[in-house]
Amino acid sequence: MEFGNQKILPAVHSMKDFDKMLKYSFEYGVFLDLHVGMVKSVFDYANSKNKKMFLHMDLIQGLSNDEYACEYICQTVKPYGIISTRKNVVKRARELNVKAIQRTFVIDSNAYRRSVELIRQSDPDYIELLPGVVPKMIERIKTETGKPIIAGGLIDDPEEVQAALNAGASAISTSSKELWTIFGK
């Protein structure tokens, strides 16, 4: 498994959420919805707690989501990794030796084809597939791209987590504190 024995990647919306995450054994997680002025101090705090955190570049308030912003974040903040829907951001992170997750939404067969092409162009370390409650799509994209899959979105209960893992997902990203409690022991 890509994240040790960790099945859940806690998706953190606030510092209050991050403090909750610290109560569990998670080593990896995702920061969402950060203000640009907070990014450096939040990552300094996470690093002091030995947490390997991804930063969702698309959700940084006050910072453009392009390859220049990615370069700035990677060089000054030094996150464990980044997440983005934009291929140029994913490619730039990889060039800077930062783990990169290509986030993609598969809602129909056309979106599936576009996603596979995007993944081929960006060559991410991981793919975050949304919604994560469609096991056959997890298996299909993993087979077609050869990339590890993180399932995210609409996963509400342990059975859905297990179904996604059984379909080949490396982990599940979730902001559900209930799932953090179940899988964070």
DSSP H or E stretch at residue 118: helix 109-122
pLDDT (tens digit, 9 = 90+) per residue, 16-33?
Answer: 999 999 999 999 999 999
- C-beta neighbour count of 109 within 10 angstroms: 8
Whole-prediction pTM = 0.96
CATH number of the domain that residue 114 is part of = 3.20.20.70
Q: Structural domain tally of the chain?
A: 1
pLDDT at 185: 78
Residue 2 within a domain: no
Residues 185, 182: Cα–Cα separation, whole Å: 7
Residue 3 within a domain: no
pLDDT (tens digit, 9 = 90+) per residue, 83-112?
Answer: 999 999 999 999 999 999 999 999 999 999
pLDDT at 21: 97
For the segment 165-184, the average pLDDT, to the nearest whole number, is: 97
Residues 106, 180: Cα–Cα separation, whole Å: 25
Check: CB of residue 114 under 8 Å from CB of residue 131: no
pLDDT (tens digit, 9 = 90+) per residue, 3-20?
Answer: 999 999 999 999 999 999
pLDDT at 2: 84
Domain with 86, as residue range(s), is 8-183
Residue 42 within a domain: yes
